[in-house]
Structure 1
Amino acid sequence: MKTSRQCALAVGFIAAWAPDAISKNLIVNSYGGPYEEIIRERIIEPFEKKFGVNVTYDAVGSASQDYAKTKATGGRPGFDVVVMTASQSLDGCREGLLQPLTAAAVPNISSLNPQLRAIAGECGAVHELQYLSLVWRKDKLPEGLSSWSDLLDERLSGKVMLPTFQNVMAAYLISVMSVTNGGDLLDEVDPGFEAVAALAKGSLGFEQSSAVMENYIKDGRAWAMPFWNGRAQLLMESGLPVDYVRPKEGTVPLIATLNVPIGSENKEAALEFVNFWLEKTSQEAWVTGYKVGSARPDIDVPDEVRARQITTETDLNALLLPDLSALSQRLPQWGARWEREVVTQAR
């Protein structure tokens, strides 16, 4: 028979791990624009209601800036959960800046596609998939676009917006342009740099934030540009005369991850938040709300959503998948080449 002290200790232990015992505060860092509205409605508010946690939403910084802050602070950036990409997740895990996410701490991680889990590494929970698409204004280009090479069409001179290299979109653009012009994703990329440099000559310029880039396509200053397909889908559904495509040469996925900095002050709540976002119902809500793909193969979403998103192994196998660890190692060199060979060609 247990003593009263043993019972008290047992009750205390259970209470320490009960949902209502986790921290009542949580800081989540992610993006602004339409993303913020959707994440509040589809993920944050349901989480707050279920767990009684007050979530502070921090929409400052891009994924690369957030990672830089995490690195500069030794894994104590001031936020508890951060949305980044698989490349940054791998880097942060290797440098000991991010919390490993085990199935014991985040049970729903076991429901994700094993290949995608491996790509993101042990510190990243893949909560969405997008891909680099080609978006255009239908009122300006009614015949549409189908190839990455179409961006170099003379009709688009002065009508294409490009990302800065601080946006991972730039590295992906180099890779797909390289494949389009006879190179490969990582090693033989001279054709990619040459193509993007030629594209920069007739571009409108460069913007770092996807939220800012989309303003150019909204107001018609840009007629076409590389863009994440989820955001492109939202632009379509807003009533704008735009469309997008996976170009015929193929494209690279944006594997987005949820990460917990190693120095998170509210780690239990952070892990609970990550697990909540990976739940089947949460993934369904996120995929249908933000128009992205999912790493959970068991989700149920409308056919019209599934048709343009990455939701099956067949979709995944059709993508160009660079080794993200190898890509990460090349980024400093690529960034220097981008500034030297691409930016200098812009108007």
Structure 2
Amino acid sequence: MTTLKTLTVAAAALFTTIGAGRAEQLIVNSYGGPYEAIIMERIIKPFEDRTGITVVYDPVGSASQDYAKIKATKGRPGFDVAVMTASQSLDGCRDGLLEKFTTDTVPNLAKLNPAVSRMAGECGAVHEVQYLSLLWRTDKLKAAPTSWNALFEQELKGKIILPTFQNIMAANLMQVLSVKNGGDLLENVDPGFKAMAVLAKQTIGFEQSSAVMETYVKGGQVWAMPYWNGRAQLLMDSGVPVDFVKPTEGTIPLIATLNVPVGAENKAAAMKFVDFFLEKASQEAWVTGYKVGSARSDIEVPEAVRSRQITTEGDLEKLLLPDLSITAAKLPEWGDRWEREVVSAAN
């Protein structure tokens, strides 16, 4: 005869099993396409093999769309880890919607470059670093450019395209040119806007989407443009006759982060995943697979990869690192100036 005690024990055991099952699942929100294939092979499968935690991959939304969902749900978006950028990390910390990381919860944070980590704030674990590169058609230019000055050469008049101000590349390029011409990244940006007004006379137009900008290069109408190096490498690998460079004057990074919403259901597993992604071996696998840079300077990667990416302390020290919180606050004002001073100069 089944007793009440037996039923209670059985129910408790079932509850424990269900609870344990839930604890061993993790939902990671990130990107689709080539990114999905690489992260599944290089990061997620090894993480599952080591921990026994099942990862459900959710390749829906951009970084800004993901953060909009986190905000709309007050930190309960239905996923446990989000791949975003330093800008969303700072916003999420300010809004109290993202978990703060410490070396207690994510020990490998201690291995990241401090300056790069500070750019992402306490709620962003930097797993990848790209940079604003100079992309050019190798079959069109007489010599490989090494400086941002190349964009101003007569050879490229009518052969470049620029991003609209809705694409952060626009503000970043203005900041780089500001520093190059005696200004700074945030307060004295007049030299940057003056340089952009001159550069605007070289362009065939402005496009918001990086993907659309790319079509002009593929078609041969554009011979050079600013472009994120990760996308530049993918374009190069696809067979288009292009190459890219970190200009000698320096450049601004695009800092990608791992984030955990405050309402994540599988928070312990999420922290394990973040720490795993930041491990030396994981960073080496990611950098060689996705061909991006790392905030860890102790990784060992082939020279062919290292020479094109941000992978050493020296590389990191050469980056121009604007305060992203201040940059975000200045974007509305800069956007107005862009229309008045840059777009109007192109017309």
Q: Classify the TM-score, shorter chain.
A: 0.7 to 0.9
Question: Which residue of structure 1 aligns with residue 299 of structure 2?
Answer: 299
Aligned pair count?
335
Contact 1:75 1:97 in 2 (8 A): yes
Cα 1:118–1:133 change in 2 (3 A) is: same
Q: 135-144 or 223-232, which moves further after superposition?
A: 223-232
Structure 1: runs of 5 or more not aligned: 1-10
CA contact (8 A) 1:99 1:260 kept: yes
Q: Does 1:96 align with 2:96?
A: yes
Q: Does residue 108 of structure 2 align to residue 108 of structure 1?
A: yes
What secondary structure sits across from 1:254 in the alignment?
A: strand
In the alignment, is the contact (CA less than 8 A) between 1:125 and 1:274 conserved in 2?
yes
Aligned to 1:58: 59
Q: Kindly provide the CA deviation profile for residues 310-330 of structure 1, in whole angstroms up to 9, marking residues without a partner as x.
A: 222222112222223322322
Per the alignment, do residues 165 and 270 of structure 1 end up closer, same or farther by CA in structure 2, a change over 3 Å counting?
Answer: farther
Give aligned-pair identity as a percent. 64
Q: Report what 1:24 is aligned to.
A: 25
- Indicate the residue corresponding to 1:122 in structure 2: 122
Distance 2:228 2:203 in 1: 18
Does residue 256 of structure 2 align to residue 268 of structure 1?
no
Q: Which amino acid aligns with 1:218?
A: K
Q: Secondary structure at the match of 1:309?
A: coil
For residues 69 and 346 of structure 2, what CA distance do their matches in structure 1 show? 30
Q: Distance in 1 between matches of 2:269 and 2:122?
A: 19
Provide closer, same or farther for how the CA distance between residues 200 and 278 of structure 1 changes in structure 2, counting only shifts above 3 A. same
Cα displacement string for residues 75-124 of structure 1 (whole angstroms, at most 9, x for unaligned residues): 34444322222233122212212111122322322322233223321101
* 2:29 partner amino acid: V
Q: Secondary structure at the match of 2:206?
A: strand
CA change 1:76–1:213 in 2 (3 A) is farther
Alpha-carbon distance in structure 1 between the residues aligned to 2:81 and 2:208: 22
Structure 1 residues 26 and 239, CA gap change in structure 2 (3 angstroms): same
Q: TM-score with structure 2 length normalisation? A: 0.84
Listed as ranges, the matches of 1:318-333 within 5 Å are 318-333=318-333
Structure 1: distance between partners of 2:33 and 2:197 = 29
AA aligned to 2:80 is: D
Which stretch has the larger CA shift, 307-316 or 154-163? 154-163
The corresponding residue for 1:215 is 215
> For 2:18 and 2:185, how far apart are their aligned partners in 1?
48
Cα offset, 1:232, TM superposition: 1.9
Aligned to 1:6: none
The answer to whether the 8 A contact 2:27-2:56 is kept is yes
Show the 5 A alignment for 1:1-347.
Answer: 22-30=23-31, 32-50=32-50, 51-61=52-62, 63-346=63-346
Shift in CA distance, 222/68, structure 1 to aligned 2, threshold 3 Å: farther
Q: Which secondary structure does the structure 1 equivalent of 2:315 belong to?
A: helix
1:286 Cα offset (Å) = 0.6
Give the structure with higher Rg (CA): 2
Contact 1:36 1:59 in 2 (8 A): no
SS of alignment partner, residue 314 of structure 2: helix
- Decide which moves more: 287-296 or 225-234: 225-234
Residue 184 of structure 1 aligns with an amino acid whose one-letter code is D
Go from structure 1 to structure 2 and tell me whether the alpha carbon gap of 1:169 and 1:312 turns closer, same or farther (over 3 Å shift).
Answer: same
Q: Contact 2:298–2:312 at 8 Å: present in 1 too?
A: no
Instruction: Give the conservation status (yes or no) of the 8 Å contact 1:42–1:285.
Output: yes
In 1: Cα distance, 2:199 partner to 2:342 partner? 9
2: CA distance between counterparts of 1:151 and 1:335?
Answer: 22
| 1:210 Cα deviation after fit | 3.2
In 2, Cα distance between the equivalents of 1:304 and 1:284?
13
- Name which of structure 1's ranges 204-213 and 87-96 shifts more when overlaid on structure 2: 204-213
Shift of 1:15: 8.7
8 Å CA contact 1:84–1:257 kept in 2: the answer is yes
Closer/same/farther in 2, CA of residues 75 and 300 from structure 1, 3 Å limit: same
**Contact kept in structure 1, 2:24 and 2:53, CA below 8 Å:** no
Read off the aligned partner of 1:53 and give its amino acid letter.
T
CA distance in 2 between partners of 1:273 and 1:149 (Å)? 43
Gaps of 5+ in 2: 1-12
1:7 maps to which residue? none
1:127 and 1:257 in contact (8 A); partners too: yes
TM-score (norm 1): 0.84
Partner of 1:297: helix, strand, or coil?
coil
